[in-house]
Structure 1
Amino acid sequence: MLVHPWDAPEDDAEWQSWLAGHDFGQLAVNGPPGEPPHVQPLHFAFDATCGPYGEVVTHLTRPNPLWPALEADPVVLLSVVDDYVYVPGPWQAAPDEPPEHGVPTSFYAAVQLRCRARVVDDPDEKAGLLNRQVGHFQPHGGSARAAAGEAPYGRLLSGIRGLRLEVTGVRAKFKYAGKRTGEVRDRIAAELAGRRGPRDAAAREHLSRRGGLRPKPSG
């Protein structure tokens, strides 16, 4: 993923804060020689306090075809993308050029976590990982805790394998007209507000948060 200076996060807190609200992504694992990567959509829980970059915990069913490739090469990439919108060309046209000369583009937020994976098969450790995930997705409870050998989930633990992903590197990108003039960014923001598409509000918030909306003159 190419990250221009104007699309890069301002600091680690920016991508960590965004990722805290996004817990579904795609795990890419190197395939065997001559084969494409395995890509697995999944829910996960990210803990920024573990290690220098954080840790991801998740699990998959035991029959998943990803396991042999993962055990052959534990270096993986977890990709998370959201808040994406299509931006028509006229919205991006410079003030001194015809609207039809504007270049269309995509806005999006993306975080890619390079990780070293460790497969978890110990029943007690798997139960602990499941409880961490459930605690993330159901912070107010409502489900029994998993415990090896105990109902209701103990007998199901053999059907899954846990994954602990130690994050060793991060690439993050917030592509929201960072190199455009304030006048153009203001126009895009107004167009997003008027279009009201599924992710337009989130894109406009990024545009504003990253300096896309100039203060309007008073009086």
Structure 2
Amino acid sequence: MLVHPWDAPRDDTEWQRWLATRDFGQLAVNGPPGEPPFVQPLHFAHDAERGEVITHLARPNPLWPALEADPQVLLSVVDDYVYVPGPWQAPPDGPPKHGTPTSLYAAVQLRCRAHVVDDPAEKAALLNRQVGHFQPEGGSARVAVGEQPYGRLLPGIRGLRLEVTGVRAKFKYAGRKPGAVQDRIAAGLADRGGPRDAAAREHLLRRRGA
């Protein structure tokens, strides 16, 4: 992922706060020689204090052999993306039709070393952490080895701890455009009011002058 200086996060806090409100992404695992990567959409829980991501997948998933052969993986999370029409990006002193369309988006890529969790008790603990993230209010039985209702399901999954070893983050929100163009984009997003337009506009205004 190319990250220009004007699209880079101002500090680690910026991407950490953004990622803290997201828990769905795509896990990319290197494929065997001559084959493309495996890309697995999944829910996850990011534990910033431990520097790891936890998740789980079904045991029959075809990515396991590739992951065991090469545990270096990438977790990609993208959100707050919008399409910007060309006229919104036109130079202040030029005709609108000369503007170049573009995409605005936020993205975080976590480079990780994967650790497979097969021990039943460790899997149960991992699942309880993950469910606790998604259901902090409770409402579900705890996972325990040999106990109903989930104990019998443990053999059918494998847990994953993804040890974070590197981060690339990007907030592409017209950071290099002059103020007049940024104003036009912000106004266009407000008027259009489509999915994610409000979030993209908030990023643009927040990062203005960064």
Same topology, TM > 0.5: yes
For 1:106-117, list aligned pairs within 5 A.
106-117=103-114
Residue in structure 2 matched with residue 71 of structure 1 by the alignment = 68
| SS state at 2:65 partner | helix
For 1:160-179, list aligned pairs within 5 A.
160-179=157-176
Partners in 1 of 2:49 and 2:136 — Cα distance?
Answer: 18
Question: Any idea what the Cα deviations from partners look like across 1:173-213, whole Å, max 9, x if unmatched?
Answer: 0000000011110110000000011110110010111127x
Residue in structure 2 matched with residue 203 of structure 1 by the alignment = 200
Residue in structure 1 matched with residue 120 of structure 2 by the alignment = 123
Partners in 2 of 1:38 and 1:80 — Cα distance?
Answer: 16
Residue in structure 2 matched with residue 48 of structure 1 by the alignment = 48
| SS state at 1:146 partner | coil
Give the one of 174, 191, 195 matched to 1:194: 191
Matched to 1:48, the amino acid is A
Matched to 2:101, the amino acid is P
| SS state at 1:42 partner | strand
Give the CA deviation at 1:152: 1.1
Backbone CA RMSD of aligned residues:
0.7
| SS state at 2:5 partner | coil
Residue in structure 2 matched with residue 137 of structure 1 by the alignment = 134
Give the CA deviation at 1:94: 1.1
Matched to 1:139, the amino acid is P
Residue in structure 1 matched with residue 26 of structure 2 by the alignment = 26
Q: Gaps (5+ residues) in structure 2?
A: none
TM-score after normalising by structure 2: 0.98
Question: Any idea what the Cα deviations from partners look like across 1:139-163, whole Å, max 9, x if unmatched?
Answer: 1111011011111111110000000
TM-score after normalising by structure 1: 0.94
Matched to 1:29, the amino acid is V
Give the CA deviation at 1:107: 0.2
Partners in 2 of 1:10 and 1:140 — Cα distance?
Answer: 34
Matched to 1:12, the amino acid is D
Residue in structure 2 matched with residue 13 of structure 1 by the alignment = 13
Partners in 2 of 1:140 and 1:208 — Cα distance?
Answer: 34
Question: Any idea what the Cα deviations from partners look like across 1:109-135, whole Å, max 9, x if unmatched?
Answer: 000000000000000000011011101
Partners in 1 of 2:91 and 2:169 — Cα distance?
Answer: 27
Give the CA deviation at 1:108: 0.4
Residue 153 (str. 1) matches residue 153 (str. 2): no
Residue in structure 1 matched with residue 181 of structure 2 by the alignment = 184
Residue in structure 2 matched with residue 215 of structure 1 by the alignment = none
Give the CA deviation at 1:13: 0.7
How many residues align? The count is 209
Residue 3 (str. 1) matches residue 9 (str. 2): no
Residue 91 (str. 1) matches residue 88 (str. 2): yes
Partners in 1 of 2:121 and 2:144 — Cα distance?
Answer: 7
